[in-house]
Amino acid sequence: MKHPRAVLLGAQASTGFLPVCDHYSGVEARMRKSLQLQAELMQEFGACVFDVTLDCEDGAPVGGEAEHAELVVSLALQAADGARVAARVHPVDHPAFDQDVAIVAGKAGARLAHIMIPKVESPADLERAGRALDAAGAPHLPLHALIESPAAVHRAFDIAAHPRLQSLSFGLMDFVSAHGGAIPSAGMGIAGQFTHPLVVRAKLEIASACHAHGKVPSHGVVTEFKDHAAFAEAARKAARELGFTRMWSIHPDQIRPIVEAFAPAGQEVETAAAVIAAAQQAQWAPISFRGKLEDRASYRYYWQVLERAHQTGRHLPPEAQRWFDSAPGH
């Protein structure tokens, strides 16, 4: 019998699910600690619940880009089995871009989960990045893109449609500063970025573009990491109100709140497992479940609940766990 992912998601199955947290670090000591923490949480949760993205853009000292890229290669190759490690390179118009890709993708491409391209303005930037990956011998690597300007937000649907793109993120700080003071500095803060109309509109546009094309919308940076309650609420808003299915972390203290915010509730997981089991037994025909009609649309929703539960290390009932023990792509 076909796997639920193949039946319910079709082509979207290849791009629709990633760990809900993407943790960025660019300083050597922090990169090493991030990879160590990733290995520890893999043991705790039984799944890789966050990506580690090693940063060549903000992490590399000016003039030391090649050395930093070599460091990223070394660390990526040392990552634990089953770990997901990625790299952010310089923008496509930066002098170090080709060098970054040649070193990082050329030497560690087989170990990397994806390459993040910052400051993407149009699909042409992704074409440029794709050619660089091909030249480095890494045509298999998915691209993630960071949208950071009003013009790029305007083109979000075209960017999200690119076949090599897997995920699209929002660069809050550059987006706000690109408005020449029209958005106050509060728009970069933990409260303002969820209330200022232009910022919220940009986030919704990116999330909608991703969902239209089966890509993963990733919420960007929240810089306040010491106020744990406020950050947890920000993560919940990103997940439950703005349509994001993934979020950036820039401090280890942000990882667990993100995983918690994006994880489904235990009762919802139990219901989802029961619905999918009954649907599979009915060969995906409509069923009556607890006095309510369920069909392909609701099956798809409940399967996605189980996917999120798996990606966040939640306990799955045995009838659901078996699908992930044998799932394609896992």
Using alpha carbons, select from 83, 56, 51 the residue that is nearest to residue 68.
Answer: 56
Q: DSSP letter at 20?
A: S
pLDDT the model gives residue 5: 86
Answer whether 131's CB lies under 8 Å from 139's CB: no
Give the model confidence (pLDDT) of 112-123 as tens digits: 999 999 999 999
Residue 10's pLDDT is what?
64
For residues 123 and 161, the answer to whether their CB atoms sit within 8 Å is: yes
289 neighbors 274 (Cβ within 8 angstroms): yes
Q: What is the predicted pLDDT for the residue at 325?
A: 83
Q: What is the pLDDT of residues 276-305, one digit of tens each?
A: 999 999 999 999 999 999 999 999 999 999
Assigned CATH topology for domain 21-262: TIM Barrel (3.20.20)
Q: Of 23, 62, 65, which is closest to residue 42 (Cα–Cα)?
A: 23
DSSP 219-260: E------S-HHHHHHHHHHHHHTS--SEEEESSGGGHHHHHH
Task: Give the mean pLDDT of 7-21.
Answer: 71
- The pLDDT score that the predictor gives to residue 326 is 62
Q: In the chain, which segments carry CATH 3.20.20.60?
A: 21-262
The answer to whether the beta carbons of residues 222 and 254 sit under 8 Å apart is yes
pLDDT of residue 60: 92
The answer to whether residue 309 scores a pLDDT higher than 60 is: yes
Q: Is the pLDDT of residue 101 over 70?
A: yes
Please state whether the predicted TM-score (pTM) of the whole model is above 0.85: yes
Percentage of the chain exceeding pLDDT 90: 85
Region at 283 (left for phi over 0; alpha for psi -120 to 50; beta for the rest) = left
